[in-house]
Structure 1
Amino acid sequence: MNRSHPRPELSRPAFTAVCALVVVGVAAGPAAAHAGVTASDPRALAENVTLSFTSEAESDTAGIAELRVVLPKGIAPDAVTLKDAPEEWKLTATPEGYTIGGPALATGTDAEYSITVRQLPDERSLVFKTLETYSDGKISRWIEVPTDGEKVDNPAPVLELRAAAPGAELIAPSPSPSPTVHAPATGTATASGVPSPGQSAAPPPPAASASAQAAGAEEAGSGTGATAGVVAAVLLLAAAGTFGWVRRSRGRV
């Protein structure tokens, strides 16, 4: 004798809850990608800190080819050096930060790289707005900054900092390079080519060109020839006068 067993059915509230979870899961799929940053020493005024960035791939048809980052206030572009990056990727400074990129990564591959910062500023948090460019030209903008705890669709990477270590101070920025002096200095120079203190740095007079030197030599030769001619003429006149005087003296005797 067969007995039929009623199949359990979900109540309407339970069915509604399951549907809601499925919808949330599907909606959260594309938004799962993000850009983030971590630090080897996340403290204000910390020196020579390694910052590691991750930009998760969100395209199914193209790979990440370039990242453009806007540095937060207190970190200058010249205070950043590249530490590690995908093969053949290079870092280039920009007025507001830097770009890093190279051959496009494989589709679905996250872009991971790290930089070294000379010193972190004395702030509570740092925002690194990032633009991701894919090989097909698509750009993802992770530039939104959440305020008052509210969530945003495209949050920028944010690094929270702890308080500075006791005694930590802001180091002076690197001095700008001094202009190069091309004119040689007079006097005895040191091994580096720079005159020792107290010596004149005025450049020597320019050397005469070959044509000017030749003209000067020709003029000098002409002057010497003219002087010799005058002397010879004077001697001849003196000799003629003496000869005439001798003849007149003999005629009187």
Structure 2
Amino acid sequence: MPRPTLTHSLRRTGALAAVAFAVAVAAAGPAAAHTEVEAEGARALDQNVALTFTAESESGSAGISKLEVILPEGITPEDITYKEGPKGWKLAPTSRGYTVSGPKLAVGEDAEYVVAVRQLPDAKTLVFKTLQTYGDGRVDRWIELEEGSAGDEHGHGHPAPQLALQAAAPGAKVVSPTPTEEPTTTSPTTGAPSTPPAQAAADETEGDDGTPVAVPLGIGAAVVVALGAGVWWFRSRRGGTS
């Protein structure tokens, strides 16, 4: 009888081991595929740095259609320039980072794209939290930090992409932010409206009542001539009678 008991125990132990292995694989599964960011030899305060992002596909029924990145402190949406990515995809800035999106990729195809950063901040590690959207509406949230939150030492298997930076090069400095171009607008004139030259010339030839200045001048000249003629006529007549 001892042998059947031993055989039963071995079978039971093997079954438990298989279950434990399956549970371990299932628990590790979600973290197997994730998003990554790479920039070989990147240093703090480096300028015009190319960052390569790779988002692995986890869906067996839909392709990736959009990636939203939440930028770390020290990098603004204006600092990002889209370099290359899946065909038809474009970058659009958001209030907290940017999105790259376009026609959904084939099922199982990873999404890879490259952006350039104007200047990296003075930090040791940069975290780029990412939301990965599929064509069927599914969203994978790659936003967890490696250390986990309080009371959660292991997270849920969705680590955020992180980029480790080397120390800044000697003499490296923070560059001034790119000035934002303000749109030029034409504001209405608050003072008296300007008078066209032609109108000004016309005003100079008119009196206060709108009568052309030449009119009174002509009348005055006629009066002077008439008076002169009258005086001449009176003197001539007087001389003729004397």
TM-score under structure 2 length normalisation:
0.78
Q: Which residue is 2:190 aligned to?
A: none
AA in 1 matched with 2:239: S
Query: What are the ranges of 5 or more consecutive residues in structure 2 without an aligned counterpart?
Result: 1-6, 188-192
What is the correspondence of 1:211-250 to structure 2 with a 5 Å cutoff? 212=199, 216=203, 219=206, 222-250=212-240
Describe the shift of the 1:24–1:148 C-alpha distance in structure 2 as closer, same or farther (beyond 3 A): closer
Q: Which residue is 2:74 aligned to?
A: 74
Q: Is the CA contact 1:50–1:117 (under 8 Å) kept in the aligned structure 2?
A: yes
AA in 2 matched with 1:151: H
Q: Which residue is 1:130 aligned to?
A: 130
**Is structure 2 residue 101 aligned with structure 1 residue 114?**
no
Q: Which residue is 1:151 aligned to?
A: 154
Structure 1, residues 21-60: CA drift from partner, whole Å, max 9, x if none? 2333345445433111111333222222111111122223
What is the correspondence of 1:36-55 to structure 2 with a 5 Å cutoff? 36-55=36-55
Structure with bigger RCO (C-alpha 8 Å, 6+ apart): 2
Structure 1, residues 122-179: CA drift from partner, whole Å, max 9, x if none? 1111111111222222222211223269332222111122222333333332334477
Query: What are the ranges of 5 or more consecutive residues in structure 1 without an aligned counterpart?
Result: 1-7, 184-204
Q: 1:11: how far off? A: 4.3
Identity over the aligned pairs, expressed in percent?
46
Describe the shift of the 1:108–1:83 C-alpha distance in structure 2 as closer, same or farther (beyond 3 A): same
Distance 2:148 2:26 in 1: 27
Instruction: Judge which range, 174-183 or 159-168, deviates more.
Output: 174-183
**Is structure 2 residue 159 aligned with structure 1 residue 169?**
no
SS in 1 for 2:121: coil
SS in 2 for 1:222: coil
TM-score under structure 1 length normalisation:
0.75
Q: Is the CA contact 2:130–2:142 (under 8 Å) kept in the aligned structure 1?
A: yes
Structure 1, residues 196-251: CA drift from partner, whole Å, max 9, x if none? xxxxxxxxx945187x4696387388211331122012201210221022112211
Q: Which residue is 1:84 aligned to?
A: 84
Q: Is the CA contact 2:70–2:98 (under 8 Å) kept in the aligned structure 1?
A: yes
Q: Which residue is 1:100 aligned to?
A: 100
**Is structure 2 residue 74 aligned with structure 1 residue 65?**
no
Describe the shift of the 1:218–1:46 C-alpha distance in structure 2 as closer, same or farther (beyond 3 A): same
Describe the shift of the 1:92–1:219 C-alpha distance in structure 2 as closer, same or farther (beyond 3 A): same
Q: Is the CA contact 1:146–1:155 (under 8 Å) kept in the aligned structure 2?
A: yes
Instruction: Judge which range, 118-127 or 36-45, deviates more.
Output: 36-45
Distance 2:64 2:185 in 1: 45
SS in 1 for 2:113: strand
